[in-house]
Amino acid sequence: MAKNIGEYDEMRANLRLIELRDTKKTVTMGGNVVGVLSVRNYKGEEFEPLPEGTDLAKLSDLEVESLAKQVGAFKAPAGSKADVYVNGLGISVKSHRGANPAFLNHTHRAGLLKVCQRIGVSIDELDLIIKEYWEKRKAGVIREDVSNSDPNSPFVNHLDYLKPIMNYFLFTGTAQKDSPYPAEFILDFTDPLDESSWKFSKDDYLDDNWDHIIFSVRSKGMPPSYPNGKGADFIKPWVEYTDGKYKGSLHGRAQF
C-alpha cells in the first residue's frame, strides 16, 4: 500500500497520462507542445489501456493503486530519478499535495565532494555556505531548517553555483552513483488529474521554486563510526556536535 498522498498522486498522474495517450491529447514539455504517444514504466513496458468506462476522479486511493498495478504502472525502484517514461523521456513526478519532496537526502560532505568531482564543480563555495549556516544557527539567526524565503538563508544567494549540484540530485543520481533511471524532466502539479495544473520543468525547476526550497544540516546520514573511520577527514569540515549528536549531513526539500 502507498504511504502518502504524494505516492497516490503519482499513480493518478500515470493513469491520466494513459488517458491522454489513448485520446491523442498533448502536453507542453520544454516549451514544446507534444502529443503523448507512449507511456512506459522503468522496465520499458507500455502501460495498458484503462478499462472502458473508468472515471479516475471517482476512484478511491486503494482503487487507484489496484488499477495502477493492473495496467503496469509499477513504482520505480529505489535510486530511480524517473518515475515514468513519456515518449521515451524519463519523468520525475512531484505532487504539491504530498509530503515535501526531498531532492537531496541527508548527504554528508564526502558524498557531496564525490558529486562535485563527478560534475566538475568545486566544493569550496559550498564549504563557505555551510560555514555561514553554522555561524547563523549558533547565533540563533536561523533554525535547523532554513527556507530560501528567509533572506537570512545562507543558500538563497547562491542559486547559480548550487544549481548544477542540486540538478544532479534531481535528475541524474545520488552521492553513490549515477542512477540507472535518470530523469529528463520534472512533472509537478497541484492536481494529478488536471493537466492544466501540470508543469514539466528541466533547468528551470530550481529557478521557479527557489523560494520554496528548505535546507538543513542534520545527524541523519552521518556514518555511525564518525568521528572515526574511513573518510572522516573529508566529512569533518561540515560537522558540529550539538544536542548530543554529530550533525553534518545536508538535506534539501521543497515545501509548497
Whether 131 and 200 map to the same domain: the answer is yes
Whether 51 and 178 map to the same domain: the answer is no
Residue with cell 482503487: 63
Whether 114 and 201 map to the same domain: the answer is yes
How many folded domains does the chain comprise? Answer: 2
The pLDDT, as a whole number, for residue 99 is 75
Whether 131 and 245 map to the same domain: the answer is yes
Whether 233 and 123 map to the same domain: the answer is yes
Task: Identify the sign of the CA torsion 32, 38, 44, 47.
Answer: positive
Supply 19's cell numbers. 488517458
CA distances from 92 to 13, 157, 188, 220 (A): 11, 26, 8, 24
- DSSP 8-state secondary structure symbol assigned to residue 172: I
The pLDDT, as a whole number, for residue 3 is 65
Whether 117 and 39 map to the same domain: the answer is no
Q: H-type helices in 77-149, by residue range?
A: 109-119, 124-138
Give the end of a domain, one of 85, 119, 136. 85
Whether 73 and 135 map to the same domain: the answer is no
Whether 136 and 74 map to the same domain: the answer is no
Tell me, what amino acid is at 141?
A: V
Please report whether residue 49 resides in a domain: yes
- pTM for this predicted structure: 0.93
Whether 130 and 178 map to the same domain: the answer is yes
The pLDDT, as a whole number, for residue 24 is 97
The pLDDT, as a whole number, for residue 97 is 87
d(CA 139, CA 134): 8
- Structural domain containing residue 217: 102-187+195-254
CA neighbor of 89 nearest in space, from 150, 165, 171: 171
CA distances from 227 to 16, 182, 223, 233, 235 (A): 49, 33, 8, 8, 9
Whether 55 and 152 map to the same domain: the answer is no
Please report whether residue 244 resides in a domain: yes
CA distances from 153 to 89, 123, 126, 135, 252 (A): 35, 19, 13, 11, 13
Please report whether residue 129 resides in a domain: yes
Residue with cell 520554496: 212
List the chain residues with pLDDT less than 70.
Answer: 1-3
Q: In what order do the strands lie in the sheet with 249-254?
A: 102-108, 249-254, 213-218, 146-147
Give the end of a domain, one of 37, 53, 85. 85
Whether 145 and 69 map to the same domain: the answer is no
The pLDDT, as a whole number, for residue 11 is 96
d(CA 144, CA 137): 7
d(CA 243, CA 94): 33
C-alpha neighbours within 13 Å on the C-beta side of residue 150: 16
